[in-house]
Amino acid sequence: MKFQVNRDVLSEAVSFAVKMLPARTTLPILSGVLIEASTEGLVFSSFDYEVSTQTKVAATVETPGRVLVSGRLLAEIANRLPNAPVTFESVESRIQVSCGSANFTLLSMPVEEYPTIPQVDGETGVLPAEEFSSAVSQVAVAASRDDVTPVITGVQLEITGNSLSLVATDRYRVAIRDIPWESTGTVADITALVPARTIQEIGKTFGHSGNISISITNKDDRELIAFTADNKTVTSLLIKGNFPPVKRLFPEKVENYAVVNTAELIEATRRVKLVVEREAALRFTFANNGLTLEAIGGEQAQASETIDAVISGPDVVVSLKPDFLLDGLGAVHSEFTRIGFTSVENPAKPGPVLITSQTSKDTPSEDAYRYLLQPNLLLR
Amino acid sequence: MDAFFASVEVLDRPDVVGKPAVVAHDSARSVVTSATYEARAMGIRSAMPLSNAKRLVPDVIVLEPHFEKYRHYSQLVMKIFHDFTPLVEQLSIDEAFLDVSGAQKIFGSPEEIAAQIKQRVFEETGLPCSVGVASTKFVAKLASTKSKPNGLLVIPEEDTLKFLHPLPIDALWGVGKKTAEILHKRGLHTVADVAHSPEQSLITALGQAAGAHLYALSWARDNRPVTTERVDKSIGKEHTFNEDVTDLEKLKATLLFQADHVGAQLRKAQLEARTIGLKVTFSDFESLTRSRTLPEGTSVGREIHKIVCELLDDLRIGGRAVRLIGVRAAGLVEAGGQQLSLWEDDVDPWKDAEIVIDQVDQKFGPASVRPASLLRKIEPTRESGTPG
């Protein structure tokens, strides 16, 4: 095998392949990046039996072939190479990499032992990349990081007609956003539960790619989703199990709400939360066209701050965990935020608050992002 | 209170008055819970193994402990305190701080109040006590210790440093064996030595919090008020076996009993624990503690037991003989203070079951309902902690 490739193209392809690999792997061979050279160019692949990546790159291939090299080492080398074309050549069990005045010799890993990368064929539909990327960043914050309940460590994709909803929850909050979807396959309504960490990386990588092609397949009892854009493909196994029916938790109509300036509330929350312990909640009092934040329960220190708020309906007091509120405020992506107060039948439990975006004090935005958060009991 | 448990026992045993006696369960492995002043004069101390006490004083009288009696007398004494001031901070079963600054118009000077308290306690219970009077809590405690037994010592504010500075450093609050050792190595032996060293050097030796705290105390700076509500920092239960135990199943059965007890205590106090700890002392007195912090607090005995068993398994004690085992719940938070979830799909059935067990126990007495695995007799577990 022998080929020549542009340094920046190489660096980008290798770092993408390595990014999706787990930091530690039980099988050493999975820490490798597979390089396949053919007359059509190069393909860089990585795979850990759950997630796979493939990147197609143009290159001048002299002799076709396949090699497997340590992914992290190759990524570090590719990042540091001088600005010159890079030549790869396999010599027996070694690979020689030369670039300008720099030369490296890398050990070739046993390529014949590398597992087959899953291939998906047939497109299910197409998504606008930019909206998908921002929706993922808004929704995935609410996904659970606790592996005890695997179904809620994912982001649920629900396709109905021309719309795709992304949903995530950790039981304490639920985040939802709908984006347009263009179905190109035969199946109409589909759901797919994708690991949150994977979909977050995909969102970041494919943010400026125009359209993302999605393919969902069921092969050998393993459900697989593939995201393809810009000559890159990422596949991921879907999480098995039923995602909780959280959509019904959202109220149809909220009459009692307040509108605040998003940045002001973020700043105030960050300040007031300084005096409470990590798990403790803050008290939010919505009254007299203002919102007063108070840190309660701290023996040693207390804090309070009042910001402007436009309140519709009666005054309200709620107890919210600051980090959960900040996740929601950070995701509305709008100058103003509407905080809606709902009621529930259970008198022992306060009704959830609904966070949505507002373009101004009076106008709700078109953005279909919704963040539902369960307040704590008011202790004092 | 002076030798509180022993004094209470002696009330019912006039024949013991004036003789060396200890309160302890008379078995091979027990430790002295409390000793009369006659016994102390002969070298017996609290927490000393009973066998050592018997070696020191072969004819020492061993009195069986009666915790319900101590609680009764403790309540009587605390009630007397409350007649003088509402600001009573109960420190343990037999100690309390009283803020009498507001009581002087009615009862006279602090010294007069102290004398009245001593008199009423003796008249109404027959028990001796010692009172220290000072302008700060920790000097008052030192004064009361210094005046024991049956004493009364007043340290006027202006004489505080004169009293404090000649004392050995381990008289200071928070100075145990380890800290004292560190300070001795630096040539610091008295409170005056500490007071006259630079604060920064204490901080270097002991760490930020402990160093600064010690320096402040050495100048009698202690601005903690007498607080009537005391927040429990941890709840625990431990047990010393009569014979060392190697059987893992037996250890786990003991842990189940303890975990259930700790869970019940938590629920009674409406608290939940974020940190669950296991303590194991081996036959060679090597002691290990392990703890785990949970994402959410718990007051469920079953859950506590599961965690301590995992901690015990992780220790891989093999066949080592265990002398003492215990469960501790720390990081206590108010129950219900933690994050509520939007929906309930896995209501913990054990929590409800244990609440029902609490109610049954309240009606029919302790251990009316208990795990079947504990029907085999296990050794009764004593209350952990000894009175100061």
Q: What is the DSSP string of B346-387?
A: ---HHHHHHHHHHHHHHHH-TTSS--GGG-S--PPPPPSS--
Q: What is the DSSP annotation of B289-326?
A: EEEEEEEEEE--HHHHHHHHHHHHHHH--TTPPEEEEE
Q: Does the CB of B344 have a partner CB in chain A at under 8 Å?
A: no
The contacts of residue A144 (CB under 8 Å, 6+ apart) are A152, A153, A169, A170, A171
* Residue B9 to residue B23: CA distance in whole angstroms: 8
Confidence band of B337 (pLDDT split at 50, 70, 90): low
Phi, psi of A13 (to 5 degrees): -65, -40
Three-state SS for A6?
coil
The owner of tokens 């990422």 is A234
pLDDT score at B202 = 85
Q: Does the CB of B209 have a partner CB in chain A at under 8 Å?
A: no
- The answer to whether ipTM exceeds 0.95 is no
Q: How close A275 comes to chain B (CA, Å)?
A: 16
pLDDT score at B16 = 87
**From the list A280, A321, A374, which residue is nearest B341 (CB)?**
A374
* pLDDT tens column, B75-113: 999 999 988 888 888 888 889 999 888 888 888 888 899
**From the list A172, A376, A377, which residue is nearest B342 (CB)?**
A172
Average pLDDT over residues A37-60: 94
* pLDDT tens column, B159-182: 888 888 988 888 887 787 888 888
Q: Are A145 and A154 in contact (CB under 8 A)?
A: no
* pLDDT tens column, B113-125: 999 999 999 999 9
pLDDT score at B385 = 41
Q: Are strands A290-295 and A303-308 parallel, antiparallel or unpaired?
A: antiparallel
**Predicted model pTM:** 0.61
Residue A298 confidence (pLDDT) above 70:
no
Is B334 in Cβ contact with A375 (below 8 Å)? no
Chain A positions in Cβ-Cβ contact with residue B343 (cut-off 8 Å): 171, 244, 246, 249
* Residue B161 to residue B21: CA distance in whole angstroms: 37
Average pLDDT over residues B352-368: 82
Confidence band of A55 (pLDDT split at 50, 70, 90): very high
What is the average pLDDT score of chain B? 85
Chain B positions in Cβ-Cβ contact with residue A327 (cut-off 8 Å): none
What is the average pLDDT score of chain A? 90
Q: Are A11 and A98 in contact (CB under 8 A)?
A: no
Average pLDDT over residues B201-225: 83
Q: Are B129 and B121 in contact (CB under 8 A)?
A: yes
Confidence band of A172 (pLDDT split at 50, 70, 90): very high
Residue B336 confidence (pLDDT) above 70:
no
* Residue B83 to residue B79: CA distance in whole angstroms: 7
CA of B224: which chain A residue's CA is closest? Answer: A300
Within 10 A of A176 (CB to CB), how many other CB atoms are there?
24
Q: How close B344 comes to chain A (CA, Å)?
A: 9
Q: Does the CB of B86 have a partner CB in chain A at under 8 Å?
A: no
Is A279 in Cβ contact with B342 (below 8 Å)? no
pLDDT score at B388 = 33
pLDDT score at A335 = 93
CA of A321: which chain B residue's CA is closest? Answer: B339
Chain B positions in Cβ-Cβ contact with residue A173 (cut-off 8 Å): 342
pLDDT score at B346 = 58
pLDDT score at A132 = 95
* Residue A141 to residue A135: CA distance in whole angstroms: 11
Residue B386 confidence (pLDDT) above 50:
no
* Residue B174 to residue A84: CA distance in whole angstroms: 67
* pLDDT tens column, A71-99: 999 999 999 999 999 999 999 889 999 99
Q: Are B173 and B217 in contact (CB under 8 A)?
A: yes
Average pLDDT over residues B292-317: 88
pLDDT score at A53 = 94
Best interface-test mutation with A: which of B227, B233, B340, B345 has the largest number of A CBs within 10 A? B340
Average pLDDT over residues A298-319: 88
According to DSSP, residue B247 is labeled -
Q: Are strands A60-63 and A2-5 parallel, antiparallel or unpaired?
A: antiparallel
The contacts of residue B305 (CB under 8 Å, 6+ apart) are B252, B255, B256, B259, B260
Three-state SS for A58?
coil
Best interface-test mutation with A: which of B342, B345, B347 has the largest number of A CBs within 10 A? B342
B95 given a catalytic annotation: yes
Instruction: Provide the terminal-to-terminal Cα distance of chain A, rounded to the nearest Å.
Output: 72
Is B295 in Cβ contact with A246 (below 8 Å)? no
pLDDT score at B377 = 56
The owner of tokens 């019940």 is B264
Average pLDDT over residues A317-339: 94
Average pLDDT over residues B287-294: 87
Q: How close A281 comes to chain B (CA, Å)?
A: 8
Residues paired with residue A209 on neighbouring β-strands, in sequence order: none
Is A374 in Cβ contact with B342 (below 8 Å)? yes
| Planar angle of CA A64, A68, A73, nearest 5 degrees | 125
CA of B297: which chain A residue's CA is closest? Answer: A279
Catalytic residue among B38, B68, B95, B181: B95
| Planar angle of CA B363, B365, B367, nearest 5 degrees | 120
* pLDDT tens column, A181-237: 998 877 768 899 999 999 999 999 898 888 999 999 876 677 899 999 988 999 999
The gap from C-alpha A122 to its chain's centroid, in whole angstroms, comes to 24
